[in-house]
Amino acid sequence: MRRMRTQVGIVGAGPAGLALANVLAGAGVDCLVVERGSRERVEARQRAGLLEHRTVRWLREQGLADGLLAGATRHGWCDFRCLGHTVRVDYGACSGGREHWVYPQQRLVSDLIGTLEKAGCPPLFSHTVRAVTDIASRRPRLKCEGMEIECDYVVGCDGFRGVSRAALPATGHRVHNRRYPYDWLTVLAEVDRPAEGVVYAVHRDGFAGMMPRGRNVSRFYLQCPPGDSPAAWPASRIVRELRGRLTDGSAEPLPTIGALPEVRMLRMHSSLTEPLRHGRLLLAGDAAHVLTPSGAKGMNLAIADAAHLATALVNRVRHGDGRALAAYSAERLADARRVLGFSEWLLRLLHLPAGPDAGSPRAELTDRLATIRRLAEPGPESAAFAHRYVGSGAEDGFDDPPG
Ligand SMILES: Cc1cc2nc3c(=O)[nH]c(=O)nc-3n(C[C@H](O)[C@H](O)[C@H](O)COP(=O)(O)OP(=O)(O)OC[C@H]3O[C@@H](n4cnc5c(N)ncnc54)[C@H](O)[C@@H]3O)c2cc1C
C-alpha cells in the first residue's frame, strides 16, 4: 500500500477541482488532485461553453485566464423566437456592458491542467478514489486502489455521482431533488458558420436552443417528452425539428448542420445538497449542486465555489484563520439557490405547461412573447434579467465595472 500525505486532497479534475488546486498551489498550500479519467479523456469532454462576467473576472485576477482572453469570443445579446417574432435582448447594454465569454469547457480544463503542471502540482490521472473516510477526524483520507492519501481537508469536486457525496453521514444532511416534466436532447453539431449568439425558440412543439461553441461547432437543445431515448432521434429528425422550431418566422436561416459528433439525452433535474461541509469534507461544483443547462450556470457556479474555497483554505491552512471556511456552506448555498431560482424562471419561460391546467398553446405563447418583449425594453425588469443572465456579480452586491 502506497501512503501519501497532502494538506488538501481534491477529488476530481473538472473546472472546480482544477481552479481550486491552481490557487492553492500558487499560494503555497500543498494539494493533490486525484482524477479517475485519463488526461486525454478529461481534456476531450465537451460540455459547457458560456463563462459569466464574474467567472472571467476571478480567473483573470488569479492569472488563470490567458488562454480564454486570447481564444474566447464575447457575446452580449441573445435572440428569443416566439410566434414568428425574433426579439433581440441586448443584455450587454442592460447590464452596463458586461458580456459572456464563449470558451469551450474542455479548453479551460486543458489550460488549468497546464498551469497546474507548470506549478509542479500535476493531477494524478487514472486514479479512482474508492472512498473518502475519517471525515469527522483531523486526518480525512482518500482511498484508491493500492494507495491511501492522508489529508488535512478533502474537497469533493467529483460531480453529482461522485464518491464524496457517498461519504456523507446518513443523517445530518439533506438533498433537495427536483425532476422537470421534460427532457432535453443535446446535440453537438458541425456547422458551416458559427452561431453569432444564443437563440432560444419558444415553440408549440417544444423548446429549441442554439448555443455558440466555436467556429465550426454549435450546441443545440430540443425539448422531448420525459424518458425519451436518443434512439428515437435519427439525424434527419433532429435537423428537421431544429429547423422547424428555430427558424419559425425568422428571416435568419439556420447554419447548415453537418455531422453530429454527440447526441445525448439530458434527464432534466436539479439537486442541492446541504450543508456543503461535513467535518473536514467540503463539497464543491456539481458534487454540491446540479442545475439543468438552462441559463448556462453549472460550470460558473462550480468555479464560484472554488473561488470561495481557495480563499478560505489559504486563510485556514496558512494563517490559521477559519472564518471564511466556516461561512462557506451558508454563503455558497445562498448563491446556488439564487442561481437555481433564475435557471428555473428561464425554464418556465422556455417551456409551455402541459396537463389539464395548461392554457391554450396560443395564449401561453402570447404571454411569453409579452414577457420576452419586456426583457428587451430598457427598465428594471430587463436590467435584473441582464445582470442575472450574464452573472455580473452585481446581483450578489458586488458591482464591478465591465472589463
Ligand atoms: C450538455 C451540457 C451543457 C452545459 N453547458 C453549460 C454552460 O454553457 N455553462 C455552464 O456554466 N455550465 C454548463 N454545463 C454544466 C457544467 O458542465 C458542469 O456544471 C461542470 O462541469 C461542473 O464542474 P465540476 O468541476 O463540478 O464537475 P465535473 O466537470 O463533472 O468534474 C468532475 C470530475 O470528477 C471525476 N471523478 C468522478 N468520480 C471520481 C472518483 N471517484 N475518483 C476520482 N475522480 C472522480 C470525473 O471524472 C470528473 O473529471 C453543461 C453541462 C452539460 C451536460
Query: What tens digit of pLDDT does each residue of 181-190 get?
Result: 999 999 999 9
Q: What is the pLDDT of residue 250?
A: 67
39 CA distance to ligand 1 middle (Å): 15
Mutate to test the pocket of ligand 1, among 158, 273, 335 (most ligand atoms within 8 A of CB): 158
Q: What average pLDDT does this structure show over 215-231?
A: 95
Strands 198-202 and 208-212: antiparallel
Mutate to test the pocket of ligand 1, among 32, 42, 47, 199 (most ligand atoms within 8 A of CB): 47
Dihedral sign for Cα atoms in the order 277, 282, 285, 289:
negative
390 CA distance to ligand 1 middle (Å): 20
Helix 105-118 with 15-26: angle, nearest 10 deg: 30
For residue 301, count CB atoms less than 10 angstroms from its CB and return exposed for 0-12, middle for 13-18, buried for 19 or more: buried
Ligand 1 pocket member 105 (CB < 6 A): yes
Which atom of ligand 1 is the closest one to the Cα of 211?
8
**Confidence check: pLDDT of 45 > 70:** yes
Which atom of ligand 1 is the closest one to the Cα of 17?
25
Q: What is the DSSP string of 238-251?
A: HHHHHHHHHSTT-S
Judge contact between 194 and 218, C-beta under 8 A: yes
Ligand 1 pocket member 76 (CB < 6 A): no
Ligand 1 pocket member 238 (CB < 6 A): no
- Taking the C-alpha atoms of residue 344 and residue 357, their distance in angstroms, rounded to an integer, is 19
Ligand 1 pocket member 16 (CB < 6 A): yes
Ligand 1 pocket member 293 (CB < 6 A): yes
Mean pLDDT lowest among 209-213, 266-270, 279-283: 209-213
Q: What is the pLDDT of residue 397?
A: 43
Q: What is the pLDDT of residue 213?
A: 84
Q: What is the pLDDT of residue 401?
A: 42
Q: What average pLDDT does this structure show over 150-157?
A: 98
194 CA distance to ligand 1 middle (Å): 24
Q: What average pLDDT does this structure show over 250-260?
A: 85
Ligand 1 pocket member 265 (CB < 6 A): no
Which residue's CA is minimally distant from atom 29 of ligand 1?
A: 14
Query: In terms of residues, how long is the chain?
Result: 403
Kindly report the backbone phi and psi dihedral angles of residue 277, in degrees, each rounded to the nearest multiple of 5, phi listed first: -130, 135
343 CA distance to ligand 1 middle (Å): 17
Ligand 1 pocket member 49 (CB < 6 A): yes
173 CA distance to ligand 1 middle (Å): 22
pLDDT bucket at 395, cuts 50 / 70 / 90: low
Segment 15-42, tens digit of pLDDT: 999 999 999 999 999 999 999 999 999 9
**Confidence check: pLDDT of 396 > 80:** no
Segment 194-209, tens digit of pLDDT: 888 899 999 999 999 9
- Taking the C-alpha atoms of residue 68 and residue 52, their distance in angstroms, rounded to an integer, is 12
pLDDT bucket at 253, cuts 50 / 70 / 90: confident
Ligand 1 pocket member 305 (CB < 6 A): no
Segment 275-325, tens digit of pLDDT: 999 999 999 999 999 999 999 999 999 999 999 999 999 999 999 999 999
46 CA distance to ligand 1 middle (Å): 10
Mutate to test the pocket of ligand 1, among 56, 105, 262, 292 (most ligand atoms within 8 A of CB): 105
pLDDT, the chain, mean: 94
Which atom of ligand 1 is the closest one to the Cα of 305?
26
Judge contact between 169 and 277, C-beta under 8 A: no
264 CA distance to ligand 1 middle (Å): 15
Which residue's CA is minimally distant from atom 32 of ligand 1?
A: 158
- Taking the C-alpha atoms of residue 95 and residue 391, their distance in angstroms, rounded to an integer, is 10
Ligand 1 pocket member 102 (CB < 6 A): no
Q: What is the DSSP string of 180-207?
A: -S-EEEEEEEEBSS--SSEEEEE-TT--
159 CA distance to ligand 1 middle (Å): 6
Q: What average pLDDT does this structure show over 92-116?
A: 96
Q: What is the pLDDT of residue 249?
A: 65
**75: β partners:** 100
Ligand 1 pocket member 123 (CB < 6 A): no
Q: What is the pLDDT of residue 399?
A: 44
Q: What is the pLDDT of residue 196?
A: 86
Q: What is the pLDDT of residue 403?
A: 44
**Confidence check: pLDDT of 342 > 50:** yes
Q: What average pLDDT does this structure show over 80-96?
A: 95
